[in-house]
Amino acid sequence: MGIYLDNAATSFPKPIQVSEAVYNFMVNIGATSGRGAYEKAMESDRLVYETRKSIASLFKQDDLKKVIFTSNVTESLNLAIKGILKKGNHVITSSLEHNAVWRSLKTLERDIGISISKVPCDEYGYTNPDDVEKYIKENTALIIFTHASNVIGTIQPIREIGFIARRYKIPFLVDAAQTAGVYPIDVKKDNIDLLAFTGHKSLLGPMGTGGLIVNLDKDISPLKSGGTGGDSSYEYQPNYFPNRLETGTPNVGGIVGLLEAIKFIQETGIDTILNKEKEVLSYALKRLEEVEDISIYGPKDIEKIVSVITFNLKDKSAEEVAYELDQNYDIMIRAGLHCAPSAHNVIGTQKIGTARIGIGYFNEKEDIDLLVDALKKINNQN
Ligand SMILES: Cc1ncc(COP(=O)(O)O)c(C=O)c1O
């Protein structure tokens, strides 16, 4: 099966229960949710409801109706950003955003004239929360931060930033793509108004799943219009949640898989998962130093990063390294800008990109040993 070290892109493998649940749904249930009154449709409704409940419990959200299913965090972020920002609004964001945020903002800047402030950070990606306050203006309508960088792993002080946002009554949107499932997140304690997450990374669920937790009383314009399974003669999108923001037949097969994935996380314990990842991360940071002419970017403190390590070798491009690892050693990593060019501006790799490993719960120290041996051999070929 090879050594999979690209968990920051998507987690693999998934707990076996996830695939079994998807298979069982496809083979034995298969009916749509929210649109039928026969038994199988009601079973489908129940499974979607159970998943909503388990997501709400994971992120400590009280109102189940405000757990919105989407197809991934990109859709969740687009929904929040485009549903809130209006012409003339100002938005504050971090220097480490993924294109899911950055392109959405740039598009609104070009098309409807919003303005954007990017809060600077140091070379390790650390943002001083007080700096966020300096950028607040009369027309600031949204503050958006990624919880952790997908390039250098840096975890942002979201609770502190959320606290500032609350003081100014500005909605605070967090991109939890790299943390949901592996870091405890409490929308209330962490002062998060909108939490965007994806199901297929550390939540260990299938691709095509994700969501938005809405923890504020403010209208969010729907991104899409269409069928919701009820009030069909009303000619507009309903005003009540979740139907206001959930349109079209949901990905019930994926949602059912996500339910099993969250059960696995809760049974295993988020702390156990995090500690295991940190153990392998710490080992990897130490062992990678043995590779000659390696530059590792970002913080090297396992308390300050998620389990992502970004690096370059002196005499090989990131793409060559990833290609050789795959072709000659059956080790899978990612190379390039990782859809987050802003973060590369911070570490000075915007022209060359980086090689990135993403450690997951199912990785072992032996995977790192094989990676380090392979990198040493790749180096020696020069
Ligand atoms: C920080 C961050 N935001 C957004 C995304 C987009 O995730 P998805 O493709 O699941 O929408 C990713 C995925 O790489 C990410 O790491």
Shared-domain flag, residues 168 and 260: yes
271 vs 144: CA distance, rounded Å: 26
Shared-domain flag, residues 240 and 135: yes
Shared-domain flag, residues 281 and 243: no
| Residue 382 binned pLDDT confidence (cut-offs 50, 70, 90) | low
343 vs 353: CA distance, rounded Å: 10
Averaged pLDDT, 302-329: 97
195 vs 63: CA distance, rounded Å: 13
Residue 167: CA atoms inside 13 Å, Cβ hemisphere, count? 10
Query: How far, in Å, from the CA of 74 to the mean position of ligand 1?
Result: 6
| 178 ligand 1 Cβ < 6 A | yes
Shared-domain flag, residues 262 and 338: no
173-188 as b/e: b if 16+ CB within 10 A: bbbbbbbbbbbebebe
| CATH number (domain holding residue 334) | 3.90.1150.10
pLDDT of residue 230: 87
Shared-domain flag, residues 51 and 176: yes
Structural domain harbouring 160:
16-268
Averaged pLDDT, 234-243: 94
96 vs 180: CA distance, rounded Å: 17
Query: How far, in Å, from the CA of 208 to the mean position of ligand 1?
Result: 12
| Residue 36 binned pLDDT confidence (cut-offs 50, 70, 90) | confident
96 vs 7: CA distance, rounded Å: 19
| 367 ligand 1 Cβ < 6 A | no
| 177 ligand 1 Cβ < 6 A | yes
Shared-domain flag, residues 201 and 298: no
26 vs 31: CA distance, rounded Å: 9
pLDDT of residue 1: 77
The residue whose CA is least distant from atom 15 of ligand 1 is 177
Shared-domain flag, residues 22 and 148: yes
| CATH number (domain holding residue 101) | 3.40.640.10
Of the three residues 217, 247, 268, the one that is the final residue of a domain is 268
101 vs 196: CA distance, rounded Å: 11
Of the three residues 242, 268, 294, the one that is the final residue of a domain is 268
Say what the pTM is.
0.97
Query: How far, in Å, from the CA of 29 to the mean position of ligand 1?
Result: 30
Share of the chain above pLDDT 70, in %: 100
| 94 ligand 1 Cβ < 6 A | no
99 vs 342: CA distance, rounded Å: 9
- In ligand 1, the atom with minimum distance to the C-alpha of 76 is 11
Domain tally, the chain: 2
Of the three residues 217, 233, 268, the one that is the final residue of a domain is 268
Shared-domain flag, residues 301 and 353: yes
By residue count, the chain amounts to 382
- In ligand 1, the atom with minimum distance to the C-alpha of 9 is 14
